[in-house]
């Protein structure tokens, strides 16, 4: 369990720093899209809505700035921890049944 706490501590530290350190440049796929698709079609693709609405799009909370980003990413980090822990427990306990 020591590893869990150490891992969580590192993950949360990254979550808090990410909004300040992360580059706002587009990622590899987006940059590629920008350079190989013509402008009009690119704008069309970029503006298209995702298939579902997300509660915290782009790892942010509307109107809450950097603090909102820290909260969003930290919540995701803890959420993933709980989900993976829970799923691994469930899968493992199934074995002994």
Partner 1 sequence: MHIPDSFMPLSQALIYWAIALPFIFMSFRWARKDMDDMKIPILAALSAGIFAIQALNIPIGMGTSGHMVGAALVAIIFGSPFAGVLVLTLVLLVQGIVFADGGITVMGANILNMGVISGFVGYYSFVALRSKNIDIKISAFFGAWLGLFISSIATAIEMSIAGTFPLVPGLVAMGTFHFVIGIIGEGLITAIAIAAIAKARPDLVDSKITEDSKEALL
Site residues for partner 1 per CB under 8 A: 1, 3-8, 10-12, 14-15, 17-18, 21-29, 31-33, 35-37, 44-46, 48, 50-52, 54-59, 72-73, 76-85, 87-89, 91-92, 94-95
Please report how close the Cβ of residue 67 comes to partner 1 at its closest, in angstroms.
Answer: 15
Of 57, 56, 60, the residue nearest 18 (C-alpha): 60
DSSP state for residue 26 in the 8-state scheme: -
Q: What's the CA gap between 6 and 55, in Å, rounded?
A: 29
Please report how close the Cβ of residue 79 comes to partner 1 at its closest, in angstroms.
Answer: 6
């Amino acid at each position: 369990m020591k590893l869990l706490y150490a891992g969580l501590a590192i993950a949360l530290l990254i979550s808090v720093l990410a909004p300040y350190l992360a580059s706002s440049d587009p990622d590899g796929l987006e940059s590629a899209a920008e350079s190989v698709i013509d402008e009009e079609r690119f704008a069309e693709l970029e503006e298209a809505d995702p298939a579902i609405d997300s509660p915290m799009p782009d790892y942010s909370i509307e109107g809450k700035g950097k603090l909102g980003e820290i909260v969003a990413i930290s919540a995701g980090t803890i959420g993933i921890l709980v989900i993976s822990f829970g799923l691994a427990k469930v899968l493992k306990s199934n074995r002994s049944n």
